Amino acid sequence: MATIACDGNGNGTTASSEGGIGSRNCCITDFVDQGSVESSRFFYARRTVCEMLRDRGYDVFGSDLTRSLDNFRRVFGQQPNVDSLGLCVSLRSNPSSKAQVIFLGTADIKVETIRLLYGKIMQERLSRLIVILQSKMTTYAVKEQQKWPFRVEIFKINDLLVNVSKHVLQPKYEVLATDEREKLLEKYKVGAQQLPCLLETEAIARYYGLEKGQIVKITHTYGRPDPFVTYRCVV
């Protein structure tokens, strides 16, 4: 009887039931991730956040974009400390505009938590804060963070395990600059609100950090001989 054997690099070869010299029999468990579920979740969520910031125009370290799961575990451990996962990046076109990313623990987020968090970051001159939750945030805590002098985006960690922008059917999104926006509206003799809508709460809109009133150019290429362009207004 023949079995599957693996070499040291994990490449499969066939061997007799007596076993082959210099090879070992493979088991399906050899292909199962032996690391912790927590480290895997944090790895994928953090990578998506880094890709999201890069696609928004922020200057993200290449190592954060190319880091493997094994390397992530070597650096952050099997049970990562959420405080060590955060990062702060600057906008490439305007280095003074900074975005901070913070991962929070599994306890429910209350007003006291939000106030302590603000106390830690109040010295930073931020234009945007991205908070990654593993639990729920109370209504009072949401109202408290709405008082902060910069934009706060809240994501649940499970919503970041997959990068929605990488789907094969996902078109390309580009926010129009002010002059491009005016030229478009003048060309078609319409107001922004007369364009098709893109909800600010949609997953792809949240990925790019789109805000109400912005006009987005959407280029469709999948399955088309020529690109097809549409425009939407964020509402």
State both tokens at 86. 């955060």
Q: Tell me, yes or no, whether 51 and 130 share the same domain.
A: yes
Contact between 204 and 165 (Cβ < 8 Å) = yes
Q: Tell me, yes or no, whether 134 and 190 share the same domain.
A: no
State both tokens at 74. 């070597």
Collapsed DSSP state (helix, strand, coil) of residue 15: strand
Strand-strand pairing, 2-6 and 12-16: antiparallel
Name the β-bridge partners of 154: 131
Query: From CA 51, how far away is CA 204, in angstroms rounded?
Result: 13
Residue that finishes a domain, picked among 106, 131, 162: 162
Q: Tell me, yes or no, whether 169 and 158 share the same domain.
A: no
Q: Tell me, yes or no, whether 118 and 217 share the same domain.
A: no
DSSP letters, 156-197, are EGGGGSS-GGGSTT--EEEEPPHHHHHHHHHHHT--GGGSPE
Q: Tell me, yes or no, whether 140 and 172 share the same domain.
A: no
Contact between 49 and 159 (Cβ < 8 Å) = no
Residue that finishes a domain, picked among 135, 162, 189: 162
Q: Tell me, yes or no, whether 43 and 158 share the same domain.
A: yes
Nearest alpha carbon to residue 219 among 166, 162, 169: 169
Name the β-bridge partners of 58: 91
Phi/psi of residue 204, nearest 5 degrees: -70, -35
DSSP letters, 109-130, are B-HHHHHHHHHHHTTS--SEEE
Overall number of domains in the chain: 3
Q: Which residues form the domain of 19?
A: 2-31
Q: Tell me, yes or no, whether 115 and 172 share the same domain.
A: no
| pLDDT tens sequence across 20-50 | 444 556 676 666 788 999 999 999 999 999 9
Residue that finishes a domain, picked among 114, 146, 162: 162
Amino acid at 56: R
Note down pLDDT in tens along the chain; length 235 residues.
Answer: 444 444 444 454 444 444 444 455 667 666 678 899 999 999 999 999 999 999 999 999 999 999 999 999 999 999 999 999 999 999 999 999 999 999 999 999 999 999 999 988 877 789 999 999 999 999 999 999 999 999 999 999 999 999 999 988 899 999 999 999 999 999 999 999 999 999 999 999 999 999 999 999 999 988 878 899 999 999 9
Q: Tell me, yes or no, whether 138 and 198 share the same domain.
A: no
Amino acid at 55: D
- What is the pTM for the complete model shown? 0.83
Q: Tell me, yes or no, whether 143 and 50 share the same domain.
A: yes
- Exposed, middle or buried: residue 137 (CB in 10 Å: 0-12, 13-18, 19+)? buried
Q: At 210, which CATH number? A: 3.90.940.20
Q: Tell me, yes or no, whether 211 and 117 share the same domain.
A: no
Q: Nearest 5 degrees, angle CA 43-CA 210-CA 68? A: 15
Q: Tell me, yes or no, whether 56 and 149 share the same domain.
A: yes
Q: At 146, which CATH number? A: 3.40.1340.10
Q: Tell me, yes or no, whether 178 and 120 share the same domain.
A: no
CA distances for 133 relative to 34, 71, 127, 153, 169, angstroms: 25, 23, 20, 11, 28
